Amino acid sequence: MNGKFSRRSFLAAAGTALVAPSLARAEDPILQLLQRENSAEWSDGFDSVSSSIKVRDFQPTLSANSVIDVEKALGLYSKIVNEGGWNKVPATKRLRLGARDNNVVALRSRLAASYDLDPALTKSDVFDTYVEAAVKNFQARHGMAVDGVIGTLTLSALNVPAQIRYRQLETNLVRLRSLSGYLGNRFVVVNVPAAEIETVDSERVHSRHTAVVGKIDRQTPILNSKIHEVNFNPFWTVPVSIIRKDLIPLMQKEPTYLKDQQIRIYAPDGRELQSNQIDWFSNEAINYRFRQDPGEHNSLGQMRINFNNPHSVYLHDTPNKNLFGKEVRFHSSGCVRVQNVREFVQWLLKDTSGWARSNIDQKIRSGERINANIAEPVPLYITYITAWGAPGGVVHFRDDVYDRDGLGPIALR
C-alpha cells in the first residue's frame, strides 16, 4: 500500500464490509484501517447521503428582504442565547471524516445548536458524513474554505459565543436598514468583510466574484458611487502612500526593482529620471511620479474600473491571481481586486455599444491603451456587512476584520 487512498475507496471499503463482510479480504489494508480502534463503527453514517442546507442562492446581500431576513435571524439567535448559547469545542487534533474522538460529541452538539446538524445526531463520537456535511454548511455560512475539516480557523469560528453573533446581527441590522431604499435595477455590491463582489440585475445576483480588499492598516473605504469607466491595458501611477511605505524600502533592498517591474520615474517638469538619480535612503522619491507600463505584469492587471470617490481607489484586475485562492484575502492597499474580471466588465458594458465579449478580449490582446465609458453608470455600494440572513433561515457571518462592530477583538484572522 502506498499510504494514499481516496475518500471514495475509503467509503467503498466500508460499504463492502457493511453489505458483504464475507467478501471483504482480511488482508485488505483499507479494511484493516477501518477496523482499528480509533476508526468509525460500521453503524455510523459513512454510506449515507446527508442533506445539506442550500447556503447561497440568487438573493443579493442587499435586497428588499435583507432587513426582514436579519430580523428573523435575530429571533432565532435570541432563542439560542436565551437557552444558554452553545458549547465550546475543545482544541484537539484536526478532526476530519473517519476520525473517532471524544471531542466529536462536543462538535456535534455545537453544530446542532446553530442548526447545521440534526439534533438527533449528537451522541456519536465518530466524524461521519453527517458531521462532514454539517461542518461544510458551517464553513460556507462563515465564508471559509469548504473542506469539511476542523482546522484552526473553523475551530475559532465555532467558538465565537452565541451572544457575540447575536450582537453582530443587531449591529448589521442598522447598516442594512440604511441601505434598504431603492438601489437601482443594476448595481454592484462589494462586501469588504466577505471579500466578495456581487453584480445584481433585477433583484437577482447575476454573478459573484471573489475579491481581494484592503489590509487592516490600509482599509478599503466604505462608500456609495457609480462605476462610469473601464480602462483597458492601463498605466499604474503609484500612490504617494505606496511610494513611502513600499517602494522606498524595496529600492533600498532591491535596486533593480523599478526596472524589473517596468516602472518609470518622472520629475515634476515631465523629464524621465533614472533610479540612480534618487537618494533612496531619504524621502526624496515622494516628490516624483512613478508610472508602471501596461502589460500582464502591471499591478492593475489588464483592466481598471473607475468610480468617483475622494480616496483614489478603484476596482481592478491583478497579475497575482493566486491571491483569490486564499482563505484570507485582505492584502491590498485599499483598492479592490476582482476575480474573473472579464466577466465582470462584460456585465458592466453590456448596454454600451461596441463592447461585446469578443471586443473586450480583442482589446486586451492588442495591448492598446483605451477607455470605455459606460453608457449608463452602474451604482456601486462598498459595504461592511459582517452578518446577514438569507432565505430558508440561513444566517451568514464574517470576521470583523476592521473592528467596526464594536464588540472587541473577535476577528479571527
Catalytic center residues = 316, 335
DSSP letter at 370 equals: E
- What is the Cα–Cα distance from 39 to 362, expressed in whole angstroms? 56
Pairing status of strand 303-307 against strand 315-316: antiparallel
Q: Quick one: cell of 237?
A: 501611477
Contact 176, 67 (CB under 8 A): yes
DSSP letter at 238 equals: P
The secondary structure of 307-363 as a DSSP string is E--TT---EE--S-GGGGGSS--EEESS-EEETTHHHHHHHHTTTSTT--HHHHHHH
- What is the Cα–Cα distance from 269 to 265, expressed in whole angstroms? 12
Neighbours of 19 (CB within 10 A): 10
Question: Cβ contacts of residue 211 below 8 Å, gap of 6+?
Answer: 190, 195, 196, 197, 329, 336, 337, 338, 339
Nearest to 319 by CA among 346, 287, 355, 294: 294
- What is the Cα–Cα distance from 96 to 162, expressed in whole angstroms? 24
Contact 60, 198 (CB under 8 A): yes
Contact 381, 178 (CB under 8 A): no
Helix/strand/coil for 80: helix
**DSSP H helical segments within 203-300, as ranges?**
240-242, 248-253, 257-260
What does the buried/exposed string (b/e) look like for 7-16 if buried means 16 or more CB atoms within 10 Å of the residue's CB?
A: eeebbebbeb
Task: Please name the residue that has the C-alpha cell 453489505.
Answer: 19
Contact 364, 296 (CB under 8 A): no
**DSSP H helical segments within 29-128, as ranges?**
29-35, 66-82, 103-113
Torsion over CA: 362, 367, 369, 374 (sign):
positive
